[in-house]
Amino acid sequence: MTDTLASTFVFPPFRIDVPRRLVSRDGQPVSLTAKEFDTLLALVEARGKAVGKEALIARVWPNSYVGDGSLARNISVLRKALGEDVIETLPRWGYRLALPVTSVPAIAVPSALGATATPDATPIQTAIVAGYAPWWKRRAVSGSALAVVVLIVIVASRFFTIHTAKAHPSAASTAPIHSILIQKQGAIDPLDEGFKLAWPDGHYIHVVRNRENNGFDGWKLVTNNQNAYYRALSSAEKEFALQSDWRLTCVCALERGGGSAVIDLGADKGAPRFDMAFVQEGKKYFVVLTKQISPDYQFERKIEFPGVADVNHPHTYELRYDHLTRTASLWIDGQQMASGYHGYHQFQEDFGLTFGAATYLNATTSSIVFRTVRFEAR
């Protein structure tokens, strides 16, 4: 009888037992969720080579479309569990394991061979040596050798299939979409969450500290013109979103000027963009649903709400889309404030999910703090 095929990866002082999905440090277990384990395993199997974010997401979430925020959180948890220096970030691209990795494959040789292979002998070598046994033993040995060869072929084919899938992560993207989740969370750099800069000018990197919990949970954008991050939607994501109910959420606060959270479902699909904007007019602050931008601003709805300027306690703003009516409703802190918003078609740049700041009226500078921006469809 042959023992179960097993693989163990060692990157001192850590060890991964793949079949049992266990991670240990100096013999002590390290507690990880299933997705955190899968993220670590992908980096370990790369043996120090860089792994792109898209490849990691395709590996860990093969049947869903999720944003880089989920991956960034997994990496953050792994760093806390293993050490900050264990995983390196390659800005705007991916991650790599900083420790050397060795693997310990365990393929037991069938006892029917009648002999124990030396530690350096492979099953193939053992089978070859068995071919020179005396004639009265050859029949039994050849049968055992054949079993070993069949085992090796099975293992090799599985190994090849797995690595072929890794080498072509795009194959996972052809799987049916069951949900979409894209988000910017807390004070994590949006570039590390899969977003791109819409325009190169402006002051982008402003981490905001929450004085109540002493944590860094906000990202401030300041500009004297316009300043934004975006994450485009694939054609498949647009199709899915147009046939689903979705929600655009923004937990944010406007200090001055104007800012917005936008979802653009694609001019190529004949679909509109939906703007949830925040503007300051003198000492008053408003939440608005944009109707047009050029040649002047026009709003489908304009709701005065002083809480727009509450940086210490930002409120939650949501657009909830009903795919049957093809309209969105505005909610503030769980209370419906407007409905029947059809969006509009100006300045569609295929930016997908966008959040940013822009000057408004006579303001020479705009500043807005984002705690969370999230687009989810299911």
In whole angstroms, give the CA distance from residue 328 to residue 320: 5
241: nearest Cα among 274, 278, 197, 289: 274
SS (H, E, C) 306-342: HHHHCCCCCEEEEEEEECCCCEEEEEECCEEEEEEEC
In the block, residue with structure tokens 């509450």: 310
What percentage of the chain exceeds 70 in pLDDT?
Answer: 77
The conformational region for residue 62 under phi > 0 = left, psi -120 to 50 = alpha, else beta, is alpha
**pLDDT band, residue 24 (cuts 50/70/90):** very high
Q: Please report the pLDDT score of residue 136 as a whole number.
A: 34
Helices (H), the chain: 34-45, 53-60, 68-82, 123-130, 135-167, 170-173, 235-242
**pLDDT band, residue 161 (cuts 50/70/90):** very low
In whole angstroms, give the CA distance from residue 261 to residue 248: 8
In whole angstroms, give the CA distance from residue 134 to residue 154: 29
Q: Please report the pLDDT score of residue 205 as a whole number.
A: 57
The conformational region for residue 264 under phi > 0 = left, psi -120 to 50 = alpha, else beta, is beta
- Over residues 7-12, the mean pLDDT reads 87
Joined together, the tokens standing for residue 234 give: 């694939």
Within 8 A by CB and 6+ apart from 210, the residues are: 216, 217, 218, 312
In whole angstroms, give the CA distance from residue 270 to residue 252: 30
Is pLDDT above 50 for 209? Answer: yes
- Over residues 42-66, the mean pLDDT reads 85
**pLDDT band, residue 241 (cuts 50/70/90):** very high
Q: Are 23 and 30 in contact (CB under 8 A)?
A: yes
In whole angstroms, give the CA distance from residue 368 to residue 192: 20
**pLDDT band, residue 338 (cuts 50/70/90):** very high
Query: Could you tell me which residues are beta bridge partners of residue 95?
Result: 51, 89
Q: List, edge to edge, every strand of the sheet that includes 22-25.
A: 28-29, 22-25, 14-17, 6-11, 102-106
In whole angstroms, give the CA distance from residue 262 to residue 356: 9
- Looking at 3.40.50.11540, 1.10.10.10, 1.10.10.60, 3.30.450.20, the CATH number of the domain 6-102 comes to 1.10.10.10
Structure confidence by residue, pLDDT tens digits, 291-304: 999 998 899 999 99
Within 10 Å of residue 1's Cβ, how many Cβ atoms? Answer: 6
List the chain domain ranges.
6-102, 116-167, 180-377
**DSSP-based three-state secondary structure for 50:** coil
The CA R_g of the chain, rounded to the nearest whole Å, is: 28
327 to 174, 252, 290: CA distances (angstroms): 29, 23, 13
What length is written for the chain?
378
Residue-by-residue DSSP string for 228-249: EEEEPPPHHHHHHHHTS-EEEE
Fold of the 180-377 domain: Jelly Rolls (2.60.120)
Is pLDDT above 70 for 367? Answer: yes
DSSP 283: T
330: nearest Cα among 351, 316, 350: 316
